Chain A
Amino acid sequence: MVQVPLNFREYWRETLASLARYPACPEFEPIPLRSTAFATLYGVRLTSVGPYRLFGYLSIPAGTGPFPAIYFSPKYQSVLEIIPQGTANLIRSRYITFSLAGRGQRNADTPYAAMFPGLLTEGIGDATAYIFRSIVADSVRGLELLLTRRELDPARVVVVGNDLALITAALMSGATHVVAAPALFYKTAELAIRTHAYPLEEINDYVRTFPALAEAARRTLAYYDLRAFAPGVTATTLLMAGAPGTLFDGQGLKPLVNALTSQVTVHESEQSLYRDGLYAEQWMAARCGISDLQRILPEHWRD
């Protein structure tokens, strides 16, 4: 069982209240270079907690809609993609897509530029100042902004990403579906000691270098554990688990699955970006009423 901090709800209520103090004040700038006959791309600037100005890529399909939407919550990398690498550009003809750079990522790296590795432990010794408190707020702000689009069908809104996708869906209503691949905030302290691989190795580096802060870091991470957020998720969820035998495999994620009260599907990785990617595309398309998925798959995945 996860030890949920006593003030878990208060911590996040305060975070969202801080966010609410700053209106998003969005600016939408068309980007002709990345716009096509089937979709228009906009660069979006918007304000989050801090205040801090963020950046995202919003793609709107041609036509009248309403369209299903995919929100790509901030990734754990410096680069912000329009759509994930390897996704057919034609996906933008069927879905509204919105990808957001959390603070520190490219295009949202002024005045703060995040380091990778490094971000995961930035301020981790103090839960009130931990960088991910603001990044979670950024992610919530992104979903809020997407939901304001008149072209969007509110019955088909998918949040895709790592742990932040699930956390965002738990903190804010509006996501109907979630595709999440836990990597950062599931049993973090417990799993970190079982690996040398980054990003969890950042935790090991931190604890080794600052042993006096290890307990404080553990306390901070308790506010971010997916198991604590799980009861708040109402969206139908696809959990992309690791391959059998890895840290985040289906067996390892069982406590999370049990904690989720929404409908959950677990896909255990087949260690093939083709097979895993195709599964996720099919899952989303089936739930969003996309009947001609073959047309919007990458060429090398089509029948």
Chain B
Amino acid sequence: MPKPVPADYVSRVLKPHDFDAFWDDVLRQAAAVPLDAEVVPDPLRTSDDVEVFEVFYTSLDHVRVASWYCRPARRAERSPAIMFLPGYQMDPPIPKEWARKGYIALSVAPRGKLRSNRHFNPGYPNLLTYNIVDRHTYAYRGFYVDTWRGIDFLLARPEVDGTRIGVVGSSQGGGLTITTAAMRPEVRAAAAGAPYLCGFMDAIDLTHTYPYEEINDYLRLHPERRAEVENTLAYFDGINFAEKIACPIVMNIGLQDNVCPPETGYALFNRIGASDKQLYPYDGHGHDAGRSRHSAIVDRFFAERLLSER
């Protein structure tokens, strides 16, 4: 049997003194870019019960970001919404299942993902280390903003009840759920699974699997840049965003997760600022983080916080 994972693991990531100033500046730059949203019906994917649209909006550096947007065909005048955030290698799915549960659903393809890679395409592998020595041009600077702009898109939709927005995702989607819940107070409930992008520098010692292994590859070739890499990643580490989270949140991790080490999951959860937070650690599970058992918990969590106000 694998060794037990310490629940009191403490990440060695330090929060830069100008962390908030850095992100305030990024948000200021983003705010200057009009969203310029375009909503295009997709008759091929639309069915009797779910309307499907392709959505495009503009984000930081004027990069055009694609998303899938689904609406229940039968819905209230203003409905709750879920934003789904994708895994590292995943092609963002059409979130029909969320629409069937009664939510308006947006599935974002941040820059570099399929359908959002015309202006920015570092490739996979490579995204994780793209400009990793410079926080001002690091790949995830725009990538994070792309997801936060999804909230702006939802808030602009007349059919969305802006007081009932939730965010969900696993792996990279879990990490993005953390950063989005932290930076967008409009998020009223969040569910993060097996969060990636949390405890980067811990993870590269705890595991030697891709995608984190991209950083080890980079440092093997450029050992002299370690301090710069560590410095950049501190601005993007979900653990440093966590204390800003105020909304109710559930998190699930797999104790045999070979992709996102469970130690970093514990370290992250312990730093989440919300008082209404719950961690579900699943023994005997890897990067699935117990999804088969946990999905009902997530459904109930969102239903109680978002659907019940109807």
Q: Which residues of A does B touch, CB under 8 Å?
A: 32-34, 36, 77-83, 85-90, 106-107, 115-117, 196-198, 201, 204-206, 208-209, 243, 271-275, 277, 298-303
Shortest 5 CB-CB distances between A and B: which pairs? A274-B286, A298-B258, A271-B292, A273-B286, A274-B256
Tell me, in angstroms, the Cα distance from A90 to B256 when the chains sit together: 18
Residues of B within 8 A of A (CB): 1-3, 5, 43-45, 47, 88-91, 93-94, 96-97, 100, 114-115, 123-125, 206-211, 213, 216-218, 220-221, 254-259, 261-262, 284-288, 290-293
For residue A269, which residue of chain B has the nearest CB? B292
* Residues A89 and B210 in contact in the complex (CB < 8 Å), given A81-B89, A274-B284: yes
Please, how many angstroms separate the alpha-carbon atoms of A40 and B179 in the complex? 36
Report the Cα distance A204→B45, complex, angstroms.
9
Check B286 against A300 for contact (C-beta < 8 Å).
yes
Contact A196 B123 (CB under 8 A): no
Cβ-neighbour of A79 out of B89, B115, B218 (below 8 A): B89
Taken together as a complex, chains A and B put the C-alpha atoms of A302 and B206 apart, in Å, by: 12
* Residues on the A chain within 8 Å of B96, using CB: 196, 201
User: A82, B258: Cβ atoms under 8 Å?
Assistant: no
Q: Is the interface of A mostly helix, strand, loop or mixed?
A: loop
Q: Which residue of A lies closest to B290 (CB)?
A: A272
Kindly list chain B residues whose C-beta atoms are within 8 Å of the C-beta of A302.
Answer: 2-3
Contact call B88/A300, Cβ cutoff below 8 A: no
Contact A85 B218 (CB under 8 A): no
How far, in angstroms, from A301 to B255 measured CA to CA in the complex?
Answer: 10
Q: Cβ of B45 and Cβ of A196 under 8 Å apart? A: no
Interface centre among A116, A204, A272 (most CB of B within 10 A): A272
B90 contact from A77, A205, A272, Cβ within 8 A: A77
| Chain A residues, Cβ within 8 Å of B293 | 271
Cβ 8 A contact of B218, one of A33, A209, A272, A301? A33
Closest chain A CB from B148 CB (angstroms): 24
Q: Which residues of A contact B88 (CB under 8 A)?
A: 85
CB<8 Å pairs between A and B, sample of 18: A33-B217, A34-B125, A34-B217, A36-B220, A82-B125, A86-B210, A106-B124, A197-B97, A204-B47, A209-B43, A271-B291, A272-B286, A272-B288, A299-B208, A300-B5, A300-B206, A302-B3, A303-B1
